[in-house]
Amino acid sequence: MLWAGMRILAVEIWLVGYGINIWWFAVIEVLSSILYGLSSARLARALTIRHRKDAGKWGALTLIGYVMPDTYMLSAGRAMPIATYAIVVSLALIFATIALIRTRTSMMKMTLAELG
């Protein structure tokens, strides 16, 4: 939630002048943070116990939770500098990579814990 607060503040400071409604962004950011947190934990668990159908469902919800704020920001913003789009997309890719690594690490820890 701290990260969500930092993102809301950053959008308020740098991007609100480009047509992004800060209140809509804040609601989307907070709700997506909750969705992302819950679904990514369940995704790791489903992958650990090899429930592919559940993993697909939780993976889709994790992805939705992850992209909702950026999708709103990029679609609602008007006439933003090209650099803004590049920065948002680059940061999204960097943090997605970090999230994948963390999910894999969590999965491995759960698997090791189950093995005893």
> 45: which residues sit within 8 A by CB, 6+ positions away?
110
pLDDT of residue 116 exceeding 80, the answer is no
For residue range 30-45, list pLDDT tens digits in order.
999 999 999 988 998 8
User: What is the pLDDT at residue 90?
Assistant: 97
pLDDT in tens, 52-102: 999 999 999 999 999 999 999 999 999 999 999 999 999 999 999 998 898
Structure tokens, 53:
């159908």
Q: To which residue do tokens 């090899």 refer?
A: 50
**Residues with Cβ within 8 Å of residue 16, at least 6 apart in sequence:** 22
Percent helix, percent strand, percent coil in the chain, to nearest 5: 90, 0, 10
Burial bucket for residue 13 (CB in 10 Å: 0-12, 13-18, 19+): exposed
What pLDDT does residue 32 have? 97
Domain range holding 105? 2-115
- Considering the entire predicted model, what is its pTM? 0.85
Q: What is the pLDDT of residue 24?
A: 97
Over 90: is that where the pLDDT of 107 sits? no
Domain count, the chain: 1
